[in-house]
Amino acid sequence: MHGLEPVRSVAERMLQELIESEAAARIGAEWNEHTEARTAYRNGHRGETLTTQAGDLDPGAVAKVDLVR
């Protein structure tokens, strides 16, 4: 699997960027940004693993999102 390590590394980074982008869109603000348009907030992180043909991907911490009440 050593030949797939560069693929896994790039895939993990891309997955993390997509996750962060989706969280920011859902929340209405980037990480540590305070806006009036905020509809939710980050409430910690959880670990996730995605299994692919290139092996298991660990995109890092996935933000937990809670709605503003």
Phi, then psi, of 17 in degrees rounded to 5: -65, -40
Q: How many of the other CB atoms lie within 10 Å of CB of 29? A: 19
Phi, then psi, of 48 in degrees rounded to 5: -135, 150
Residue 13 carries which side chain, given as an amino acid letter? R
Residue 33: C-alpha distances to residues 2, 7, 27 (Å):
39, 32, 10
For residue 24, the model assigns a pLDDT of: 84
pLDDT tens readout for residues 6-51: 888 888 888 888 888 888 888 888 877 888 878 787 777 777 787 8
Q: Is the predicted pLDDT of residue 69 greater than 60, yes or no? A: no
Residue 55 carries which side chain, given as an amino acid letter? G
Query: What's the whole-model pTM score?
Result: 0.66
